[in-house]
Amino acid sequence: MSDPPRPPDEAHAAQLVCPECARSYPRSERFCSACGMPLVYSATAHGAQRQTTERQRKARKIKPQYSEGALVKVARVANQVEAEFVAALLLEEGIPCLLRSAIAGYAPVTGWRDVLVPESGAEAARETLAWEP
């Protein structure tokens, strides 16, 4: 298993850029002021583009306005498969979520799961998950 990629050292500090609109930012910034995307390093110390991990790709989808506040329960699903499906739906809308099993410390594939999102994303999450036949 390889180590996760690390930011360049200070001697080869790369500038941060927005992966969506390609604007450059100083290292003190975290999000693009134009589109709100999380910033990434422009290049590695050798000048080659970094390989992004699955976790980084998911983080880029999260909209900062939906990541504020305490966690709020927005749904309850019957099993892990449904929970992962709901989490993917919310992520596509830019809403981060946490899945919680009914029995703390024990998470079988079957059994109820609560879907929790930050307060600022609760209304958008409920709208996303609203389904009428």
pLDDT-derived band at 131 (thresholds 50, 70, 90) equals: confident
User: 55-106 pLDDT, tens per residue?
Assistant: 878 888 889 899 999 999 999 999 889 999 999 999 999 999 999 886 655 6
pLDDT score at 1 = 47
Both tokens assigned to 126? 């409920």
Task: For residue 128, count other CB atoms closer than 10 A to its CB.
Answer: 19
* pTM across the whole model: 0.60
Domains of the chain: 1-60 (no CATH), 65-129 (3.30.70.1530)
Centre a 10 Å sphere on the Cβ of residue 86 and count the other Cβ atoms it contains: 21
CA angle 70, 74, 77 (to 5 degrees): 130
Q: What is the DSSP letter of 19?
A: T
